[in-house]
Chain A
Amino acid sequence: MALLEVRDLSVVFKRKGEEPFTAVDGVSFDVEPGQTVGLVGESGCGKSVTSMAIMGLLAKRGVKVSGSAKFDGTELLTLSDKQMRDRRGQELGMVFQDPLSSLNPVISIGLQVAEVIERHRGLSRKEASVQAAELLDKVGIPDPKRRLSEYPHQLSGGMRQRALIAIALACRPRLLIADEPTTALDVTIQAQILALLAELVKETDTALIMITHDLGVVAGLCDEVNVLYGGRVVERAGRHDLFRVPRHPYTHGLLASIPRLDAPRGERLSPIRGSVADNIPWTQGCAFAPRCPNAIDTCVEVTPAMEPDPVVAGERLLRCHNPVEPADRVEQEILT
């Protein structure tokens, strides 16, 4: 049994006077202890909403969550608010995208780290502060004792993200969700933060769900990758398999749209046509069909199911009627 088993998770937003909007539409995946699983896709593909649903952070009103998310055998979706609060910060940690807005501007860094220890470990403020300093040291913040009394605006972007990681890992959670943890940072800092996450996760055998739109992050960190489109997983494979032979036209498009230094001069980037705004629900046919270069008649008529890849060997699931032929693949040197 996996540490986290997500089955057929759906999230529907219902606002008064508006059509219900299905943000997540039957997502399933597993995360094993020590494993890093990537959720990849463009903005609006449902990756963040999936993580918020697992964490129980979605609003109570106007949102309908269905399906199942079992953590260590316990169904998270039906837990009471109090039971969920007991687990958040304790067994489930989360790192957010924008470190400046994710830290409270008027509370010292020390208290923001200590309060989560205080809450779950039942320590006094003083004992928790000592541990907070140790944590800041561990995530690579220099002079941690002095930092305790400083405020978010006094830290650099990278330091803030380190502080957020310290908060998320303070109680040694068994599952960590990182929601685009490097998007708001400089490229050089991004690499540092990713290395730090990878190191900490390995050291403590923590399961990590990495949410990102950045395939470089996936290549560097994830063991298994789920590519999401329109609220559904369209392709799942180990990272090597995925990068070597992207089978779903969407995955293929994502990889092909990365600018490459070794491309011949003058060659244009090949973006994916259209935008997620053209999103159609998965009611009939494939939601990606309108943007898909490989679309055939079946694609608009029959909704594809998630099935093992009929051609390429390996553990891969695919939701596509007309996958990209392995020969067409773009050479991926990211991995080599």
Chain B
Amino acid sequence: MLRYTIRRLLQLLIVVGVLSLLLFAWLRSLPGGPVSALLGERATAETRARLTEELGLNDPIFVQYIKFVGRALSGDFGVSTGVQPGDPALDIFLQRLPATLELSILAIIIAIAIGIPLGYLAARRRGSVLDNLSVVSSLIGVAVPVFFLAFLLKQVFAVDLGWFPTAGRQEGGIDATRVTGFFVLDGILTQEWDAAWDAFVHLILPAVALASIPFSVVFRITRASVLDVVDEDYIRTAESKGLTTPVIRRRHVLRNAMLPVVTTIGLQTGALLAGAVLTETVFAFPGIGQALAIGFERRDYPVLLLLILCSAGVFVLINLLVDLSYALIDPRIRTRGGGH
């Protein structure tokens, strides 16, 4: 297991390395560029040329790349030219990471906490009103674009009804102490309950919007998986033992039904960032997704490069975690190749 984990982590390094090369080349080939973004349309040719030279953009691309890798290895990913001009890209990343993590974790919790029980119930009452309603709602969840759902939630629950704040991570007026950068956690740690609550309330609408797709997928996979498992021979064996329904449900049905669901949750968690770009933009939520959106708009190469690389790394890491947790639930994988 340990050797497997190490091998996978080495693969992660290779993935990030190759991706950095591709990204570097791709970003440079985009029309426009940081010079126009920084100086605007009306700058003179002379200032443009000077800035281009200063930014090192006249060097051949592979020289630029090698310089970038050299600096990156010492922790210098360059300075933002568009998102927060002048700030080091790494600072922007570290400062925004907790926001997106907080949002993603809540979204995944919502998706799992509703998706799995509902999927189980729908399967057990196949064909019932509950089943049909939840299948339809999960279809809507997948089909409706995330940004549209985000706008709709914002308009109805924040603007019209006023139940939730419309934007941001926390009200400006609240006196909150920063410890970890996770605002809800900070509030709890410092016992500033109002700050924690306010940060939590800010998370709800974007998290619901972000959860729509993972919820739908988790629900559908759970439902399909439970339907498969209840017809298995070993469930009949469990019934023939006279076990009570709760025991059969917990020990025999759910454990087996969870195998594909765990994979799904991992893949969906990895894919959350795509949704986060849209949701964070709609709710002006200062996370990674918003930074990516602004970064593309303003051709902020250093920030884009770092954020995309880190996102890819996170994606691969989550997949590794899923594979490891899979081995925990499924003994058939645990023993394959090791020991027996």
Contacts and interface: CB of A to CB of B under 8 A. Distances in A.
A88 B241 contact: yes
Given A115-B247, A115-B251, A153-B332, A104 B242 contact: no
Given A88-B241, A108-B331, A115-B243, 12 more contacts: A57-B239, A88-B239, A88-B242, A93-B240, A94-B240, A96-B237, A96-B240, A101-B233, A102-B236, A104-B238, A105-B331, A105-B332
A98 B247 CA distance: 23
B237 to A, nearest CB: 5
Contacts of B233: 96, 98, 101-102
Given A101-B232, A102-B236, A107 B251 contact: yes
Contacts of A167: 237, 241
Contacts of A105: 234, 256, 330-332
B329 interface: yes
Identify which of B232, B239, B241 gathers the most chain A CB atoms within 10 Å of its CB. Answer: B241
B58 interface: no
A98 B236 CA distance: 12
A108 B329 CA distance: 12
Interface string A92-116: 0110101001111111100000011
B335 interface: yes
B28 interface: no
Contacts of A87: 242
B244 interface: yes
B240 to A, nearest CB: 4
A116 B330 CA distance: 22
Nearest to A111: B251
Contacts of A115: 241, 243, 247, 251
Given A106-B330, A107-B255, A57 B240 contact: yes
B304 to A, nearest CB: 43
B242 A102 contact: no
A265 B241 CA distance: 49
Interface residues of A, number: 31
23 contacts: A57-B236, A84-B242, A89-B240, A89-B243, A93-B240, A96-B233, A96-B237, A101-B234, A102-B236, A102-B237, A105-B330, A105-B331, A105-B332, A106-B332, A115-B243, A115-B251, A116-B241, A119-B244, A120-B242, A151-B331, A154-B335, A154-B340, A164-B237
B252 interface: yes
Interface residues of B, number: 24
A55 interface: yes
Contacts of A88: 239-242
Contacts of A98: 233
Contact of B243 (A96, A102, A106, A119): A119
Contacts of A103: 234, 237
B332 to A, nearest CB: 5
A102 B232 CA distance: 8
Interface of B: 232-234, 236-244, 247, 251-252, 255-256, 259, 329-332, 335, 340
Nearest to B340: A154
A86 B331 CA distance: 30
Interface in A216-266: none
A68 interface: no
Interface string A31-66: 000000000000000000000000101000000000
Nearest to A97: B233
B242 A86 contact: yes
Contacts of A151: 331-332, 335
A161 interface: no
Nearest to B244: A85
Contacts of B239: 57, 88
A167 B243 CA distance: 12
A11 B247 CA distance: 28
The 3 closest A-B pairs by CB, nearest first: A88-B242, A89-B242, A89-B241
B331 A106 contact: yes
Contact of B256 (A89, A93, A106): A106
A55 B238 CA distance: 12
A90 interface: yes
A116 B243 contact: yes
Contacts of A89: 240-243
B303 to A, nearest CB: 45
Interface string A3-47: 000000000000000000000000000000000000000000000
B237 A153 contact: no
The residue among B233, B234, B242, B252 with the most chain A CB atoms within 10 A of its own CB is B242
Contacts of B335: 151, 153-154
B127 to A, nearest CB: 10
A153 B240 contact: no
A153 B251 CA distance: 18
A245 B75 CA distance: 92
B98 to A, nearest CB: 36
B238 A90 contact: no
B156 to A, nearest CB: 40
A96 B332 CA distance: 22
Contacts of B255: 106-107
Nearest to B232: A101
A103 B329 CA distance: 16
B241 A119 contact: yes
Interface string A141-180: 0000000000101100000000010011000000000000
Nearest to A104: B234
B260 to A, nearest CB: 13
Nearest to A170: B241
Contacts of A94: 240
Contacts of B251: 107, 115
A14 to B, nearest CB: 15
A324 B299 CA distance: 93
A326 B126 CA distance: 55
